[in-house]
Chain A
Amino acid sequence: MKHEYSAEHRKYLGKRKRNLTLVWILRLGLLALILGVWEMIAALGWVDPFLTSSPSRIGKTIASLYLDGSLFYHIGVTLLETMIGFVIAVVGGCVIALALWWSETLRRVLEPYIVVLNALPKIALGPLIIIWFGTGSEAIVFMTVLVGIIVATLHMLSAFLATDNNKILLLRSMGASKFQILRKLVIPSSLASFISMLKVNVGMAWIGSIMGEYIVSRAGLGYLIVYGGQVFKLDLVMASTCILCVLAAGMYFLVVLLEKLIVKDAES
């Protein structure tokens, strides 16, 4: 089809493409500017690099972590805790939301409990978690699940309940059972909400795992940040934070990729 476009349309496409290129140049330029200024003011002694660190010191810290073999160990620990917590929170949230959609009585009974659990700052449960789960990864995974599961439940429940009543009426007129309504209508029409819930929960999972590592941990990026803060190694704090940024962004883009796959599949 491409060769059939008119000159005007090609011009329009060209303009869009140039615009996209410009946005990318500016994005990367902004990053380079921030890093450059940061490095410069640290190098010129305008700020104390002991307090602000600097890109080159962060690079050196990451390199030394890599050389003593602990870089991928800490990344692996946090990533595993985050992923396991994320998956349990998402699956658990969907299952609970399904149960709540199914039974209005159950929904009404549990509503006040869910509201309270949602409002409760989960970090308040820190001491309990340590006593119940010890100081290993189990405690951190539990914290991650706790932070994510309520959000996942509420998000999916509101999606299920927003199902078009006329479409439900249509299925009921065909004699559909509740299970058929669920399978043929409620679940497929909630797909877009499922993806947006995943995006929200990527953030929630990182909050949960890092918060968990702050409370109790012997390894992981959250541990490095806390440890670095305690011994005033701000290079370590900054380096771990940068790695976290990269990991969180990577996980988010995986969800975006999944979205593209699913949406394409549903419409091709």
Chain B
Amino acid sequence: MKNEILRFEDVTFTYHTRRGETTAADGLTFSVREGEFVAIIGPSGCGKTTLLSLAAGLLSPSSGTVTRSGSCGYMLQKDELFHWRNIEKNIFLPLEIKRQNTAERRRQALELAKKYGLGEFLQSFPPQLSGGMRQRAALIRTLATEPDILLLDEPFSALDYQTRLNVCEDVSSIIRSEKKTALLITHDISEAISLADRVLVLSPRPTKVSHEHELDFGEETRPIKRREMPQFSTWFELLWRELNA
């Protein structure tokens, strides 16, 4: 068994606003092991983003524990590239923030960018790039600090369908070939099946893990290929039922 990178142990989280309190999570327990791609799906409004904020350490649980060994990189729905910085400077942003802005780290980040087809766009500004390219740049920015786990918050949901499939393919191959651990949160069942090794299903609020599945696609990690395989629709049907239970 490989090391656990992230572990939620009986996590409860309560939101407080002027109008009252809402329990977003209650008794949430799961873990992500090194090198694993885990997808979490849940009904809308079940507190998916809260879960990622807890994993990133931006929020602290009301009770229970969240343990993470190593650093994390967060990728959001939109690319959130800064329009006043060119792509290269955007990719260096986390290095500046984490005070790791050394020539060596910059060189590694640029190598990564070139390897995944951003070489000719490094001096371009975000508005000059297509949505797909921008999301790719956002991924490279996330990878620049070499995080131990990637937290992906519906990173494809703002893209149109065609781009979405392509970027999904892209992101999958980059994460797999860099051997990164990833935790994806999405409401899109087919995206979860096409990307992950393991899928967790969340219950409505207050949320906890209601089902957990190890997917059986063998060595096939390419999303498009997975979508063509016979077990894809079986998984889809099962997860659909569990999500709507």
Across the interface, do B96 and A172 meet the contact criterion of CB distance under 8 Å? no
Q: Does A170 contact B (CB under 8 A)?
A: yes
Q: Does B97 contact A (CB under 8 A)?
A: yes
Q: How far is the CA of A185 from the CA of B90 in the complex (A)?
A: 12
Question: Contact string, B84-97, partner A, CB cutoff 8 A, digits 1/0?
Answer: 10000000011011
Q: Does A44 contact B (CB under 8 A)?
A: no
Q: How far is the CA of A174 from the CA of B56 in the complex (A)?
A: 9
Across the interface, do B82 and A185 meet the contact criterion of CB distance under 8 Å? yes
Q: Could you say which of A166, A172, A180, A191 contacts B78, with CB atoms under 8 Å apart?
A: A166
Across the interface, do B93 and A184 meet the contact criterion of CB distance under 8 Å? yes
Question: Contact string, A187-206, partner B, CB cutoff 8 A, digits 1/0?
Answer: 01101000000000000000
Across the interface, do B58 and A172 meet the contact criterion of CB distance under 8 Å? yes
Chain B proximity of A156: nearest CB distance (Å): 17
Q: Does A167 contact B (CB under 8 A)?
A: yes
Q: Could you say which of B78, B125, B145 contacts A174, with CB atoms under 8 Å apart?
A: B145
A175-B97, A176-B97, A180-B97 known; A170+B58 contact, CB < 8 A: no
Residues of B with C-beta under 8 A to A189:
82, 84
Across the interface, do B80 and A170 meet the contact criterion of CB distance under 8 Å? yes
Residues of B with C-beta under 8 A to A171:
97
A167-B82, A267-B125 known; A175+B96 contact, CB < 8 A: no
List residues of A (139-182) whose CB comes within 8 Å of B's CBs: 164, 166-167, 169-176, 180
Chain B proximity of A77: nearest CB distance (Å): 39
Q: Does A266 contact B (CB under 8 A)?
A: yes
Q: Could you say which of B56, B78, B84 contacts A173, with CB atoms under 8 Å apart?
A: B56
Q: How far is the CA of A176 from the CA of B99 in the complex (A)?
A: 10
Residues of B with C-beta under 8 A to A266:
84
Q: How far is the CA of A137 from the CA of B84 in the complex (A)?
A: 41
Residues of B with C-beta under 8 A to A170:
74, 76, 80
Residues of A with C-beta under 8 A to B28:
none
Q: Could you say which of A166, A175, A188 contacts B76, with CB atoms under 8 Å apart?
A: A166
Residues of B within 8 A of A (CB): 53, 56, 58, 72-74, 76-78, 80, 82, 84, 93-94, 96-98, 125, 145, 151
Instruction: Pick 25 A–B contacts, CB within 8 A, sort by A.
Output: A166-B76, A166-B77, A166-B80, A167-B80, A169-B58, A169-B76, A170-B74, A170-B76, A170-B80, A172-B58, A173-B58, A173-B72, A173-B73, A174-B94, A174-B97, A175-B98, A176-B97, A184-B93, A184-B96, A184-B97, A189-B82, A189-B84, A191-B84, A266-B84, A267-B125
Residues of A within 8 A of B (CB): 164, 166-167, 169-176, 180, 184-185, 188-189, 191, 266-267
Knowing that A175-B97, A184-B93 are A-B contacts, what are 12 other residue pairs whose CB atoms are under 8 Å apart, sorted by A's residue number? A166-B78, A170-B76, A173-B56, A173-B58, A174-B74, A174-B98, A174-B145, A180-B97, A184-B82, A185-B82, A189-B82, A266-B84
